[in-house]
Structure 1
């Protein structure tokens, strides 16, 4: 798969999804704790809108990476209208931004995960293409999941819609993209997961 072409396609599709949202949906909560749709959209385009030296300065000012991303997401969500946030993804579909580690695979994961962070709680039928999902599912590692605070000890992920599984233990079943969300620390709405461990990974 041409991963940079996949990133560009993902960004254009997510821009189209955002363009179709009603005004009240922009204020709906997402799977990212404490962030509405507008904060997630602002965060997704942060790497395009801020040059690297500015990002470094903002990290120092906020006294940490996570504080910086939260502060900028909230600031930009308040300052930029929804149309501008959607356009930032579309206009920068081919931007070479990547996270600090992980290269273009991590950039694809960043876009896919945050797109689902928006679509799932809104009940939108966002289906990530299989080739993109497989790149991300096949790249899962215990170290990466630990970074997101995920403990799959004694749990085996089994996708219903793809020939894919991960881990050993009690089976947790769901769609491949829902299991990807689990592997990145998201808590899902009730009814999306099946199996004895499902309560551990469901939203309260």
Structure 2
């Protein structure tokens, strides 16, 4: 996808601040400092539209980025950072859960993990939660440039096994530094942008 226009729109704290233009939305979830902002910047060919920080836990709202007036990236607060208060984590959790369950324009959740390491318990819980509600998920393993190519298959296998990934979910290796996986990820996103039948199944058992 050729990006000709990308802009930060809003840091939303609730549904009354979400955009109302009906564009499809792609959510990005992952632990603090996993590289979500860097991934966004690489995907839109910008150096610092999504602000990266050496301080984990800085993103505290749902950050909306509109791309080509066709789609939004919605960057979630990073999870699993101990210095964020329990109360704040609870507020974030409730905000994210409500968004995921209620947002009709949500088309896909990108679960961002670090290729170098096994998924955290929070990663596993997020993936299981998303699949419980039948949400479309693509796992994106970032920082591929940080390990030798010969070790990629082993690390991908370990991540797939740790998450107990379901058949049919996307799984893309990515490098914000080198652009590895960028075209593949855009292709995957574009498939979901057009599909209006991928919303969550929130029927309780």
Higher strand share: 2
Whether the TM-score (by the shorter chain) exceeds 0.5 is no
TM-score w.r.t. the length of structure 2 is: 0.30
Report which structure shows greater RCO (CA 8 Å, sep ≥6).
2
Higher helix share: 1
